[in-house]
Amino acid sequence: MNVIIVDDEPIAQDIIEKFVGMVPYLKLVKKCDNAIEALTDIKIMKPDLVFLDVQMPEMTGLEMLKILKNQHACIVLTTAYPHFAIEGFNMDVIDYLLKPIPFERFLKAANKSFDYFKLIKGSAAFESDVLTKNHPAGDTRNHIFVKEGKKLVQLCVEDIVMVKALKDYMEIFLKERKVIVHITMSRLEAILVPPQFIRVNRSCIVRRTAIRSIQDMHLETELKLDERIVIGNTYWEMLKSEFKEQF
């Protein structure tokens, strides 16, 4: 993946450049000190991945994201301020990294970006995003068929813990594995209906019974994830109404 770093701090640039050099599938093609320069370079060089700082002079990273809305590049925000995470996810970024950035967390964001990159390169395998409901004999639970690559995989809806948007694809998390399918959030949300499933931000749906804790507009599920899930402002009010007796 060709990478561009956009950050006005030389030390931050150097750290990310060092990390990029440690990952075999990443190749640094440009470092930019400001968003104005970066907009031109991204348009010309068409990178696969951009590490974008939020706080910059002249134009912030979030303002730059609004201009980059239709670009194909994966965007990973870098910031010292965690409250920017919600707005960033609402703008369809792949991930966000809090400074100072540990390599383990950088690698996780890089791997997530690489998963999406491989999906885009192999998009011809995804000929259809149709999910077909199915009810096996003797089983009253809801089942769906999802297209994973070139094969159809049957999933039990009740086994789905969480669904997260990965740009034009969706990650369906089960207890032991995940499946990546080409489908819109609106279509999948129509299948994973309340009250069994709850939308917690623009890019994430969670099974209600899989929620383990809620605190400070974040939640944790039964999945063993490295980070808590951000609850969007709009969905926070709806979530409180779902658990009105506890709040």
Do 115 and 6 lie in a common domain? yes
Do 37 and 102 lie in a common domain? yes
Give Cα 198 distance to the centre of its chain. 17
Residue 219: domain span:
132-242
Tokens (6 digits) for 78 = 């870098």
Which of 101, 121, 141 is the last residue in one of the domains?
A: 121
Which of 92, 121, 150 is the last residue in one of the domains?
A: 121
Q: Please write down the HEC assignment for all residues of 100-142.
A: CCCHHHHHHHHHHHHHHHHHHHCHHHCCCCCCEEECCCCCCCC
Give Cα 55 distance to the centre of its chain. 21
Do 183 and 233 lie in a common domain? yes
Residue 187: give its domain's CATH number.
Answer: 2.40.50.1020
Query: Is residue 126 in a domain?
Result: no
Do 176 and 87 lie in a common domain? no
Distance CA 6, CA 9 (A): 9
Check: CB of residue 201 under 8 Å from CB of residue 90.
yes
Rounded to two decimals, the pTM is 0.56
Strands of 25-100 (E only): list them.
27-32, 49-53, 74-79, 95-98
Query: Is residue 127 in a domain?
Result: no
Distance CA 91, CA 36 (A): 19
Distance CA 212, CA 209 (A): 8
Do 199 and 228 lie in a common domain? yes
Do 48 and 154 lie in a common domain? no
pLDDT tens for the chain, 247 residues long, are 999 999 999 999 999 999 999 998 999 999 999 999 999 999 899 999 999 999 898 888 889 988 886 567 899 999 887 776 666 666 778 888 999 999 999 999 999 898 888 776 654 333 444 444 554 555 556 777 777 776 777 888 888 999 998 877 888 999 888 888 877 787 777 777 777 898 899 889 999 889 988 888 889 998 877 778 999 888 888 777 776 655 5
Do 46 and 102 lie in a common domain? yes
Distance CA 23, CA 114 (A): 11
Do 142 and 47 lie in a common domain? no
Do 78 and 35 lie in a common domain? yes
| φ/ψ of residue 25, rounded to 5 | -90, 5
Number of domains in the chain: 2
Residue 37: give its domain's CATH number.
Answer: 3.40.50.2300
